[in-house]
């Protein structure tokens, strides 16, 4: 590169008038106006990039990537009762969706049955209500579980919901070794960001490693965890924080699995990840590429994994809910399309595109169809799936990928200094870092350093909402409760009590709890009853307030 020519350009650039704007990424990472070969001077193609499907996987986890198979189009969906959600899944599959993703309501997420006083008014509102195996059977009625992969966004009660899924498959005649899917099961990010916990860290981690062990022997194609940066980002983190905190959680799960007596290669191939796709196009692409490289290096070099499948960081992406605006909601279609494009250019394995109305309510059929069509247009119309990792070699993208890795490494060192992820949670480290970043972001919007179309500029003062909104009929709560109470009358209550008592006993041993939970589920013990046994034995997590 000719330094003299560069200097000449730089001088002209410095003296020229510029737009009054913040030239940083959306996360506030300073960026240069121009990148040149000098920014990637130490770049080593074989070491830093390599080939798709080859270490360190910067260019993607599969040799053929989307030329072999497109990403899974997996819209997160669920509302009201199992019956309504089952209809929505069948609708989405009929429209070309290629995987399922279940959203549960708040009582289910918190381990309460629909007739618990704390569930009042919340049944079926933000997802589907699942109280027992009976609901799960209805949820997947007519959907062959050996043919579709299902993700379930469930964390503290993951062991119970997963057992219900396995038992539903048994009823369909599908053996567990044929099941494919994912449970989110990521409690660390709950303590850090989303706050839907039940038990304290120790028993929570034990349940997770019990799942790793059970899956290895009985459900080998299942992704046992979806280590999630999504919620960390939605809570206001920067892209670097999302990357670093998520991978740090990933390392903590690897260490927990090893400490529980597993060989790293027995469970690491089934760890999966979940990232946000925010608005800053290049920053997001760099984040995914850096994530794969960091994970592969750590797994091979630090954790000594030998199976190349343990080195792969496979991830789902959801476009950023927090980037959507209630104002001029149709604009959200465009935001989502750019975010989804970043996820695809970053090599995602699975994708949810938000519907334009998700900032206001759960999506209508029309809104979710447009969101799915957005993925289909990216897949089939604009040519981006024909070349693998097409942005590789861009001075900017490679420099930003390196920067992401460097900044993440600084965070890993800091977390280690604090004594690891759990200690850092106790000290409020993540929570404070995220809060500070969220504050900075909001300040940038309030001061108009960052423009949000329709919110702080190009505002329509006379705007009236003219899109349809999905309303959940409040009567569904009574229907759900009535069905649950009928189930309690009709099931074999003696057997239920026996199974719950066996689980209680096992909770105080080092036995794997999954077989006990499966037995409880099979005789129609409810989610709330099973979780209550564990609440009694394990206690509940209480967050230390931080000021």
Ligand X SMILES: C[C@H](C(=O)O)C(=O)SCCNC(=O)CCNC(=O)[C@H](O)C(C)(C)COP(=O)(O)OP(=O)(O)OC[C@H]1O[C@@H](n2cnc3c(N)ncnc32)[C@H](O)[C@@H]1OP(=O)(O)O
CA distance 124 to 103: 10
* Binding status of residue 75 toward ligand X by CB under 6 A: no
Cβ count near 385 (within 10 Å): 18
CA distance 461 to 518: 56
- Are the CB atoms for 160 and 204 separated by under 8 Å? no
Looking at the DSSP bridge assignments, the partners of residue 275 are 317
* Binding status of residue 387 toward ligand X by CB under 6 A: no
- Are the CB atoms for 477 and 175 separated by under 8 Å? no
* Binding status of residue 375 toward ligand X by CB under 6 A: no
Q: Binder to ligand X among 85, 97, 134, 151 (CB under 6 A)? A: 151
Cβ count near 272 (within 10 Å): 25
Count of residues in contact with ligand X, rule CB under 6 A: 30
The least CB distance from residue 485 to ligand X, in Å, is: 28
By C-beta, is 84 or 537 nearer to ligand X?
A: 84
Binding to ligand X (CB under 6 A) within 88-107 occurs at: 99, 101, 103
CA distance 188 to 186: 6
Q: Binder to ligand X among 246, 350, 355, 375 (CB under 6 A)? A: 350
* Binding status of residue 336 toward ligand X by CB under 6 A: no
Q: Binder to ligand X among 9, 13, 68, 448 (CB under 6 A)? A: 68
> Could you give the maximum distance between any two Cα atoms of the chain, in Å?
86
b/e string for 196-233 if b means 16 or more Cβ within 10 A?
bbbbebebbbbbbbbbbbbbbebbeebbbbbbbbbbbb
The token pair at 427 is 């000290």
With contacts defined by CB under 6 A, name the span among 226-234, 392-400, 404-412, 444-452 that binds ligand X: 226-234
* Binding status of residue 276 toward ligand X by CB under 6 A: no
By C-beta, is 292 or 483 nearer to ligand X?
A: 292
By C-beta, is 181 or 528 nearer to ligand X?
A: 181
- What's the Cα-to-Cα distance from 200 to each of 128, 197, 206, rounded to whole Å? 26, 8, 10
- Are the CB atoms for 193 and 231 separated by under 8 Å? yes
By C-beta, is 251 or 315 nearer to ligand X?
A: 315
Binding to ligand X (CB under 6 A) within 131-150 occurs at: 149
Nearest residue to ligand X, by Cβ distance, number only? 68
By C-beta, is 221 or 432 nearer to ligand X?
A: 221
* Binding status of residue 155 toward ligand X by CB under 6 A: no
> Mask 171-210, x = binds ligand X (CB under 6 A)?
---------x-x-x--------------------------
The token pair at 492 is 């074999």
* Binding status of residue 292 toward ligand X by CB under 6 A: no
* Binding status of residue 69 toward ligand X by CB under 6 A: yes
Q: Binder to ligand X among 59, 74, 125, 206 (CB under 6 A)? A: 74
Sheet with 100-102, strands from edge to edge, namely 76-77, 100-102, 150-152, 181-183, 222-223
Looking at the DSSP bridge assignments, the partners of residue 227 are 273
By C-beta, is 430 or 524 nearer to ligand X?
A: 430
The residue with tokens 């809910």 is 321
* Binding status of residue 510 toward ligand X by CB under 6 A: no
* Binding status of residue 315 toward ligand X by CB under 6 A: yes
CA distance 79 to 86: 9
* Binding status of residue 272 toward ligand X by CB under 6 A: yes
Question: Using CB under 6 A as the criterion, which residues of the chain lie in contact with ligand X when the complex forms?
Answer: 62, 64-65, 68-69, 72, 74, 76, 99, 101, 103, 149, 151, 153, 180, 182, 184, 221, 223, 226, 230-231, 272, 274, 314-316, 318, 349-350
């Amino acid at each position: 590169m000719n330094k003299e020519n560069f200097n000449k350009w730089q001088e002209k650039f410095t003296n020229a008038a510029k737009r009054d704007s913040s030239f940083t990424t959306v996360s506030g990472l300073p960026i240069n106006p121009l990148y040149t070969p000098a920014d990637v001077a130490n770049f080593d193609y074989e070491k830093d990039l390599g080939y798709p499907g080859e270490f360190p996987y910067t260019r993607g986890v599969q040799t053929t990537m989307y030329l072999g198979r497109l990403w899974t189009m997996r819209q997160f969906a669920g509302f009201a009762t199992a019956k309504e959600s089952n209809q929505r899944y069948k609708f989405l599959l009929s429209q070309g969706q290629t995987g399922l993703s279940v959203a549960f309501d708040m009582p289910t997420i918190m381990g309460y049955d629909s007739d618990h006083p704390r569930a009042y008014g919340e049944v079926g509102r933000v997802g589907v209500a699942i109280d027992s195996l009976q609901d799960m059977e209805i949820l997947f009625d007519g959907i062959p579980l050996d043919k579709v992969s299902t993700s379930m966004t469930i964390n503290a009660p993951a062991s119970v919901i997963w057992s219900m899924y396995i038992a539903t498959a048994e009823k369909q005649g599908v053996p567990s070794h044929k099941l494919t899917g994912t449970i989110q099961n990521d409690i660390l990010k709950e303590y850090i960001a989303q706050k839907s916990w039940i038990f304290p860290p120790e028993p929570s981690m034990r349940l997770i490693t019990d799942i790793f062990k059970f899956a290895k022997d009985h459900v080998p194609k299942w992704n046992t965890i979806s280590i999630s940066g999504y919620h960390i980002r939605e809570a206001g983190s920067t892209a670097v924080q999302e990357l670093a905190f998520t991978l740090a959680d990933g390392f903590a799960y690897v260490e927990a699995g090893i400490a529980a007596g597993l060989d790293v290669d027995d469970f690491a191939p089934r760890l999966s990840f979940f990232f946000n796709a925010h608005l800053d196009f290049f920053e997001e692409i760099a984040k995914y590429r850096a994530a794969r490289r960091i994970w592969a290096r750590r797994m091979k070099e630090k954790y000594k994994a030998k199976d190349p499948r343990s080195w792969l960081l496979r991830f789902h992406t959801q476009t950023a809910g927090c980037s959507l605006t209630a104002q001029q909601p149709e604009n959200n279609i465009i935001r989502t399309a750019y975010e989804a494009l970043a996820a695809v250019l970053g090599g995602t394995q699975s994708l949810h595109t938000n519907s334009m109305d998700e900032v206001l309510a759960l999506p209508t059929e029309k809104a979710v169809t447009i969101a799915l069509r957005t993925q289909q247009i990216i897949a089939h119309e604009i040519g981006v799936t024909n070349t693998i990792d097409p942005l590789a070699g861009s001075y900017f993208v490679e420099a930003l990928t390196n920067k992401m890795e460097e900044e993440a490494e600084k965070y890993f060192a800091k977390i280690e200094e604090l004594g690891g992820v759990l200690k850092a949670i106790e000290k409020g480290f993540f929570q404070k870092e995220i809060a500070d970043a969220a504050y900075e972001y909001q300040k940038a919007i309030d001061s108009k350093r960052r423009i949000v179309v329709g919110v702080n500029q190009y505002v329509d003062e006379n705007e009236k909402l003219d899109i349809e909104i999905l309303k959940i009929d409040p009567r569904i709560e009574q229907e759900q409760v009535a069905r649950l109470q009928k189930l309690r009358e009709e099931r074999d209550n003696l057997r239920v009590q026996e199974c719950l008592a066996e689980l209680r006993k096992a909770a105080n041993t080092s036995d794997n709890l999954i077989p006990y939970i499966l037995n409880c589920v099979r005789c129609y013990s409810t989610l709330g009853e099973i979780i209550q046994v564990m609440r009694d034995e394990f206690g509940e997590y209480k967050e230390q307030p931080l000021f």
